[in-house]
Amino acid sequence: MKDLAAQLAQIVHQHQWDKHYENLLQSALKDPDVQSFLTTYQIPPESAVIKRNLDAIYEFVHAKGQAHFTGDYQPHLIWVNQTIHVSYQPDAALRQRQRQQYFQQKFQTIDMASDVRQASLEDFAQGSEGRLAAYVAALEFVSTYPQHSGEFIPGLYLAGDFGVGKTYLLAAIANELVHKDHNVLLVHFPTFAVQMKNAIGDNSVLERVHKIQAVPILMLDDLGADALSSWIRDEVLGVILQYRMQEKLPTFFSSNFTMHDLKLHLAVNQRGDQEPIKAARIMERIRFLAREVIVAGPNRRFEK
Ligand code: ADP
Ligand code: MG
């Protein structure tokens, strides 16, 4: 008797469950996206195809409800080999985020403000006339790099007063290049130099130098902003530039000094010693790697 009761309970339970399941499936079939899918592929509502693929249809409707809250991956019904499948594709917002992440990886920065990612060449061009030469030079680089003949294309050395938009222009060039799928590293040189000194302690100097010297396009921002020690000048900057010269890797610079004045600046080390020959060696490399362009115009820092 007991067994029979248990069996009965199970049957009732099963039956109700089936009914519940049936209801879910019926409402899934009424879903407008399912309906239009069935119409598109001319699948009759009561057909064997539907019966065979109820699980996919149910999964689709269920996932659609979920995606409504989480956003990221949108389910789609697809018709492959006479069978209904659910495929998940990233929605527009997720695709946009993935794109951004991709570009963020291509555009690396060291010690730069995060707004560099917003800089654009078009906006730079909106500035004063003093920027025209730099804008043209930037466009020229962006449109010729990489040279298919394998010929070396020098980067730019942007010289100009404080606030004229040199850093902004480097960032704008970088953004343009990463959108053409090139890798760029933009480094705030004075801060980087301090970090390198600290890196002596944990023996990571060489590793860091190797890492930055080999990037396809390197940009050193604000060169000459601080007095450099002989060590930073010769063993860090000098080594990086030497490598890039040998490998013919375009390198960009920005500085408040013209090349002529940077030479004088580099000739005096932090302790005040005169080292003109060492400075000349650095300048030789910079002149090989980049061509000087003067950026002029109003100080943009006070416009904000
Ligand atoms: P520099 O490096 O020559 O000292 P910056 O590139 O830092 O000058 O520019 C100074 C300020 O002006 C920054 O806040 C920068 O974001 C802003 N700026 C420069 N050029 C533009 C531009 N074309 N559009 C919008 N902001 C700009
Ligand atoms: Mg700057």
Nearest to 117 by CA among 178, 31, 33, 180: 178
pLDDT digits over 86-111, tens only?
Answer: 998 888 888 888 888 888 899 999 99
Residue 1 has pLDDT above 60, yes or no: no
Instruction: Give the pLDDT confidence score for residue 69 in this predicted structure.
Output: 65
Phi/psi zone of residue 248: left (φ > 0), alpha (ψ -120 to 50 degrees), beta? Answer: left
Q: What is the CA radius of gyration of the chain?
A: 31
The token pair at 242 is 């030497």
pLDDT band at 2 (very low <50, low <70, confident <90, very high): low
**127 Cβ inside 6 Å of ligand 1:** yes
**Could you tell me which residues are beta bridge partners of residue 221?**
188
Q: Which ligand has the minimum distance to the alpha carbon of residue 304? A: 1
Q: From ligand 1's centre to the CA of 162, what distance in Å?
A: 10
Phi/psi zone of residue 59: left (φ > 0), alpha (ψ -120 to 50 degrees), beta? Answer: alpha
Q: From ligand 2's centre to the CA of 222, what distance in Å?
A: 6
**167 Cβ inside 6 Å of ligand 1:** yes
Q: From ligand 1's centre to the CA of 88, what distance in Å?
A: 42
- The protein residue with its alpha carbon nearest to ligand 1, atom 14, reads 301
**123 Cβ inside 6 Å of ligand 1:** yes
**299 Cβ inside 6 Å of ligand 1:** no
Q: Which helix (H) or strand (E) holds 82?
A: none
Instruction: Give the pLDDT confidence score for residue 154 in this predicted structure.
Output: 96
Pairing between β-strand 251-255 and β-strand 155-159 as defined by DSSP bridges = parallel
Q: What domains are there in the chain, each with its CATH number?
A: 2-90 (no CATH), 97-294 (3.40.50.300)
Instruction: Report the alpha-carbon distance of residue 4 to residue 107 in Å, rounded.
Output: 72
Residue 270 has pLDDT above 80, yes or no: yes
Q: For the chain, what is the mean pLDDT?
A: 89
Residue 168 CA: nearest ligand 1 atom is 6
Mean pLDDT of 55-72: 82
Mean pLDDT of 280-289: 98
Residue to probe by mutation, ligand 1, list 167, 169, 300, most atoms within 8 Å of CB: 300
Instruction: Report the alpha-carbon distance of residue 166 to residue 159 in Å, rounded.
Output: 7
